[in-house]
Amino acid sequence: MTDTLLQGRIALITGASRGIGRATALGLARAGAHVIACARTSGALEELDDQIFAETGRHATLIPFDLADGAALERIGGAIYERFKKLDIFVHAAATLGSLTPVSHYEPKDFNRVITLNLNATYRLIRQLEPVMKLSDAARAIFVSSGAASNPRAFWGAYAASKAGMEALVRTWADEMEVTSIRCALVNPGAMRTRMRAEAFPGEDPETLPLPEEIIPLMVELARADRVPTLETIHFREWTHSGHA
């Protein structure tokens, strides 16, 4: 079953091969958007495309690349403009956990990779996508964050610092975009049944956690053209408990 809430909208999703990114890609496609799915793994993207086609009768556009690949990031804005002439929805779900270790124990290369993937890539994507998003009548940018951004804990230094930096960057950009059609949202999904969560808490029973698919209604709602706040900060569980889901 599909609807037309996002009919005609062009949506780019990073981290679309699994977890929250994959669920969001499916949800936006079901709502009528044309999905541009980005992730490192071609095979997983092809499986996503197969499911989107089976459910909607439309194919996604697949862009396999690593967020650490600066050259690939520099091409993405131009490629979207050449094919679609605009970008209506940008969902940045890709992230890496990195090692959970004391701050003083990080190897520089490991710390830098987390910052590169979670923070620097956010800046480079904003830089590339802002011009093509300004061509939309109502562009929406949704960034998946974490409670670690505001409540860091022992051994989570690199991840917490990268997410706190990402939130500060997005808040700054949202303020700069106030006079444009671009509106931003930061989403804290909380504990969810994802691979990253299993890596961080290997002893946790995944059956006690919500599935990534449960966040789809929130992501579709935030992608709507009639959302008006310059910046929204949404905690998924609070949103669910407030009766929106």
Whether 93 contacts 118, CB under 8 Å: no
Residue 234 backbone phi and psi in degrees, to 5: -120, 130
Q: Is 116 exposed, middle or buried (0-12, 13-18, 19+ CB in 10 A)?
A: middle
Q: What is the rounded distance in angstroms from the CA atom of residue 243 to the CA atom of residue 24? A: 20
User: By three-state DSSP, how is residue 115 classified?
Assistant: helix
Q: What angle do CA 112, 146, 168 make, to 5 degrees?
A: 70
Residues known to be catalytic: 159
Tell me the sheet residues that pair with 66. none
Q: What is the rounded distance in angstroms from the CA atom of residue 53 to the CA atom of residue 204? A: 34
- DSSP code for 8: T
